[in-house]
Amino acid sequence: MIKGAVPILLALVLLQGCASVGTLNAAKPGAPIIYSGTRLDWYSLNDGCCPMDRFGVDAPEYPAIDLPASALLDTLLLPFAVAAELGVVLGVSGGY
What is the structure's pLDDT at 75? 92
CA 4 to each of CA 7, 8, 15, 50, 89: distance values in angstroms, whole numbers, following the listed order: 6, 7, 17, 39, 38
pLDDT tens, residue by residue, 18-56: 787 787 777 778 888 889 889 888 998 998 888 888 888
Report d(CA 20, CA 41) in Å as an integer: 9
Q: How confident is the model at residue 61 (pLDDT cuts 50, 70, 90)?
A: confident
- Domain spans of the chain, in order of start: 2-86
Q: What DSSP assignment string belongs to 12-78?
A: HHHHTT-HHHHHHHH--TT---TTHHHHHHHHHHTT-S-HHHHHSSPPPS-HHHHHHHHHHHHHHTH
Tell me, what's the pLDDT at 28?
A: 75
More confident residue, 75 or 80: 75
